[in-house]
């Protein structure tokens, strides 16, 4: 499986709590291995943004005027053009860190969860309906367990996500 990740950090003075490109790559690879094992190649852009940019994108694309943890923009190629582009993830570092603190989680574990959560959205998973949310959360738990990360929903139960 060849996974290509374009990792862009756009926030000024990124601190050491941001994951590195290898971690992002490992998390996306883990998500694809369980959620879409037949996927041979994939390209994903992961962009780390400020609260301001996150809020603007959330407002522009989801009509929600507040910053959010992760936004997913799936790439929909024409059928006759089979490209491995999955799409883009936009992650607000400040929101992820705030949520981790509020939920009493390690920041890196919450980053892992948000990258996996966003990747599943790129693959077509959603959590609008209860049954969809249950299926998506179960898959997230399985992927996170493979990475030795605790069930994020056991620590903080909330089926309303921002992504």
Which residues belong to the annotated binding site?
117, 121, 127
What size, in residues, is the chain?
A: 163
Q: Which two tokens stand for residue 102?
A: 């509020």
Extended beta strands in 10-159, E state: 41-49, 70-74, 85-92
Say if CB 112 and CB 147 are below 8 A apart: yes
Distance CA 44, CA 87 (A): 5
Distance CA 163, CA 152 (A): 15
Binding site residues for Zn(2+), as ranges? 117, 121, 127
């Amino acid at each position: 499986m060849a996974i290509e990740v374009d990792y862009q950090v756009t926030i000024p003075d990124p601190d050491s709590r941001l994951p590195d490109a290898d971690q992002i790559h490992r998390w996306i690879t883990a998500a694809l291995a369980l959620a879409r094992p037949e996927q041979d190649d994939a390209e994903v852009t992961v962009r780390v943004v400020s609260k301001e940019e996150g809020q603007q994108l959330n407002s522009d694309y989801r009509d929600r005027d507040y910053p959010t943890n992760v936004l997913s923009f799936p790439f929909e190629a024409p059928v006759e053009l089979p490209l491995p582009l999955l799409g883009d993830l936009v992650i607000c570092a400040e929101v992820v860190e705030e949520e981790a603190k509020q939920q009493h989680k390690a920041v890196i574990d919450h980053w892992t969860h948000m990258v996996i959560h966003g990747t599943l959205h790129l693959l077509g998973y959603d959590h609008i309906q209860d049954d969809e949310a249950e299926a998506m959360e179960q898959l997230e738990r399985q992927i996170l367990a493979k990475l030795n990360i605790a069930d994020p929903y056991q620590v903080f139960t909330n089926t309303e996500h921002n992504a």
